[in-house]
Amino acid sequence: MTNQAHIFTLPPDLGAQIGRDTLARLAHRVAGVCSARRASEFPCDDPAAATRDNSLLDLLIYCYASGVLPSRAISELAEMDPVARTFCGGAFPERDEIAAFRRDHRALIQECLKQVYEAAWQAVINEAGPGRVPVGIAGAQPKPSPDTRYDPSDLLRQINERISRAAQMDCWSVDC
């Protein structure tokens, strides 16, 4: 099999497949790299605001990859979930702040989610080895192999759908 496109379907909850702590570390690392690379696009003279934006980005990447989409649910999760709470540093975001951040930084969120899913996919391939299916993947995804590649444009399409669904769910909750 040579570089055949694989129909990759975003798992409903990536954290259930790779572990919550692993997903949190991956989200934080990827968000930091993406933010640093795009810093010139988002100039900020206020270090406190920059720290808050980085925390929100970490939280959104973690939540969207975990399948938590509505801003209200993200706000509630940030207060209740110990892993999500680590991103907030005691300052829990409100629903409107989360929704505004998503609108203002959609391209950055997309880029981060793409990198998180690519890194997780590679880890699954590495864990699987030839002809094996890692725990938590059986039935949900075809058997990965080092020769199998997914279509990056389809991955971006699915990420865009997830972010759009998050925005739509926010509108339903406030009757936009």
pLDDT digits (tens, 9 = 90+) for 31-74: 988 888 766 655 566 555 666 678 899 999 999 999 999 999 99
**Residues in Cβ contact with 58 at an 8 Å cutoff, skipping those fewer than 6 apart:** 24, 27, 28, 31, 87
CA distances in angstroms from 104 to 61, 99, 120, 148, listed in the order given:
15, 9, 26, 35
Mean pLDDT for the stretch of residues 106-125:
88
More confident residue, 154 or 26: 26
Find the angle CA(146)-CA(151)-CA(154) to the nearest 5 degrees: 145
Q: How confident is the model at residue 27 (pLDDT cuts 50, 70, 90)?
A: very high
Q: Can you give the pLDDT at residue 73? A: 95
Q: How confident is the model at residue 24 (pLDDT cuts 50, 70, 90)?
A: very high
Residue 128 confidence (pLDDT) above 90: no
Question: Long-range contacts for 34-41 (Cβ within 8 Å, ≥24 apart)?
Answer: 34/108, 34/111, 34/112, 34/115, 35/108, 38/108, 38/111
Share of the chain above pLDDT 90, in %: 44
Owner of token pair 């720290």: 51
Q: How confident is the model at residue 162 (pLDDT cuts 50, 70, 90)?
A: very high
Cα–Cα distance for residue pair 124/44, rounded to 1 Å: 37
More confident residue, 21 or 175: 21
Buried b (16+ CB within 10 A) or exposed e, 116-135: bbeebbeebbeebeeeebbe
Q: Can you give the pLDDT at residue 123? A: 76
